[in-house]
Every structure is written in C-alpha cells, then in structure tokens.
Amino acid sequence: MENKPAMTREQAAVFMLRVQGLHGDKIYRGKEGLVEFTRNAGCVQYDPIDICGKNHELVYHSRIKGFSREALNQVLYEDRRLIDIFDKNMSIAPVEDWPFLDYFRNHFNGSGPHKEEIDRLSGEVLDFINKNGPVCSADIKFDKKVDWFWAPATMSRVVLDTLYYRGMLIVYERRGTRKYYDIPERHLDQKILDSGNPFKDRKSSVSHHILRRIKSVGLLWNRPSDAFLGIHGLKASERNHAFEKLVTEGDILEARVTGIDIPLFFWSGYENAFGEVMDGSLESTRMEFIAPLDNMMWDRRLIKEIFGFDYKWEIYTPEAKRKYGYYVLPVLNGNKFIGRIEIVKDKQVGRLKVKNLWFEDSSSDTLSINSEIDRCLSCLNSFYYE
C-alpha cells in the first residue's frame, strides 16, 4: 500500500467532519438524505431519553436539512427503507443490512437472561401476534417483574424484546416511547429475510462489522474502543486479525497523524475525501450541537487526541460527581469543539432553553459565537416543537 503523508490533527479533524457530513453546508436533505446518511454511517444509535431531542434525532438534525420526525417515521414504518435493529446497541440501520446482522440475532438466540422462561412463552406470544396483529407489552398479560438489562421489567416486555432481538419480531411502529411489534414477513421483502447469514465464519463476520464501525466513525485505531460495542465477545486477537485482513484486502487505508503514536485507519471509499482534505481548504463556519452518542463521538479518547476535546456523557455519573450536567451536548464550531451546552425543556413556555453553557476558552465567548448558538437553539426549537 502506498504510504500516505502524515496528517496534522486539524486535517484529521476536518476529514472526520467531512465524512460525517458535519463540515461545510449540509449535504443531506429530506427523506432521501435520511436514508443516504444512514447507509453511509451503517447505523445510528437509538436512545429513548428525551431531554432536548432523542439521540438519533439529534444525530439526524445536525446533518439533514429539513429533518423531521414525520420523515423518519415514514422511512422506518411506512417505506421500510430503514429499520430499528440491534447493531451498536439499539440502532437504526438500512433494511438491506438485515442479513449482515444475523450474527447479533444468533447471539440472542443462544444466550441471555431468563432464556428458559422466554423460550417457553415465545410460542404463545407469536401465536397471539399472528392472530391479532401488532402488539405492545401492555397487550401481553405476563405481569411478573424480572430484572432486565437497564431496569426491572414485566415478563411481557422481556419476551417481546427478546423475540425482537432474535429477529422473530420487528418494530411495527413507535407511539411515544412504546414499541409495537409484528411479524417480519408482514412488512419486509421476503428476499431480504431469506438471504441468510452471508459470512462463512465468525472471523469474516467480525471483519465486516469492524469495517462498518471504521466507516461510521471516519477514523479509528486498532485498540479497544466503544465504537466496537455490540460485537459480542470481541477479543484483541480477533480485532488484530480483522485489521490485518482489511488492510491486506484494501478495504481500509492507513493514516498517520502527527503527534499520535499509532496509526489510524479509514475506509478506502473515503480516499478521494482524504486527498481533498490534504490538498484543500480547512475552513468551515458551521455550528452544530452534537448528540452524546453521535457516531463521531463513539471513541471519546480518539476525539480527545484529534480535537483536544475531553467529553464524558455524565448521564450515569452521580449528580454530586458531575463536572457539567446530566445531558450535555458538545458544541461544534467549524473544525473545533468550542464548548458544551445543557439544553432543557421549559414546560411553562413550551420551548427549549439553555440551562448551562461552558466554553473551552474565553476567546469563544464572543458576540458572533453567542449569536450562532442562539441560531442553533432556534433551529432545534423549530424541530422539537414542530
């Protein structure tokens, strides 16, 4: 492989922002932009917590011109071009990726809490859905509470969740935070469902999923990373083998960054973007509020190395130990993270408001910067209260 010139940290930052659709003007628009960005990203992480917009909404809002919940619901639950699916934890992914995620479904088929009881009840639940159509957990009367991944849940929810993780159900629609499930064959192309696992062994599967995560983040290194969450049981030896295989086959290319002592890697499909960043202008004046679980933020140690921005999502940090706040968003301005912002709902006036704003340095606290923050807040308000 041809040795590429070393990037500066600023060039690495611009490259990541560019392939993320966060550099310069928004390149994605409307429903088609939603589908195109998700295909490029592989998946967008879903999280139900709604303080100033849910994580996936904030990810899309920062990239899609004219993004709306209505458009997302249409491509998810009417057009079925995107799908709620387990990938990097709960995610939204292109529906054509269903066969490639068979590994995750098999994991939930073979193990998990309460497996014996779930297996015993699953036939009854599937029969009920076949006869009655889409259901939520309130429609299934297994009221016993059991420990579940994030919090105790009724057995109804546990069985439905597990059948969904196994691919025996899909999300038919969401009403608020409540999921309604149905049989996949009623809504997905049978060719997709019949495709089967395309990987001959676990090594091939791991390599594929690591490539998807490298493509999704933009730049990644061969070291433990939250970007690899969801690749169950991933060992260092498997990760090393995957990187070696992907390099040998030309799927990923190496990038050296001045001041970072190990190589980074990017998807070979981004080679033109790499060249343009190395040769072109680095300027961008765009400001965005970035979601806590944004694809670009999946490896926060990498973000610190490249951008010099040390971000921690403190939602699980006890209040007394938080440095900033419960749900704080990084503020991206041009090629830099200039601070972080805590936005909350003002229920009295039906608007979002800034609870706290922290700048990384005093030079960021200027009239023009504050004007841009007001503009971004107004834009987010228009989406949130559409």
Other Cβ atoms closer than 10 A to 238: 17
Q: Which residues pair with 175 in a beta bridge?
A: 178
pLDDT tens for 30-57 read 999 999 999 999 999 999 999 999 999 9
Instruction: Look at residue 234 and give its three-state secondary structure.
Output: coil
Sequential pLDDT tens for the chain (386 residues): 456 779 999 999 999 999 999 999 999 999 999 999 999 999 999 999 999 999 999 999 999 999 999 999 999 999 999 999 999 989 999 999 999 998 788 888 877 788 889 999 999 999 999 999 999 999 998 888 888 887 888 999 999 999 999 999 999 999 888 899 999 999 999 999 998 889 989 999 999 999 999 999 999 999 999 999 989 889 999 999 999 999 999 999 999 999 999 999 999 999 999 999 999 877 888 999 999 999 999 999 999 999 999 999 999 999 999 999 999 999 999 999 999 999 999 988 899 999 999 999 876 778 889 999 999 999 999 999 97
Q: pTM to 2 decimals?
A: 0.94
pLDDT at position 365, please?
76
Q: Which long-range contacts (CB under 8 A, 24 or more apart) does 185-189 make?
A: 187/80, 188/80, 188/83, 188/95, 188/98, 189/95
Contact 154/144 with Cβ under 8 angstroms?
A: yes
**Terminal CA-CA length for the chain:** 50
- For residue 253, the Cα-to-chain-centroid distance in whole angstroms is 23
**2.60.120, 3.40.190, 3.40.50, 1.10.10: which CATH number matches 102-193?**
1.10.10
Domain ranges of the chain: 102-193, 287-384
CB burial string 254-275: b at 16+ within 10 A, e below? ebebeebeeebbbbbebeebbe
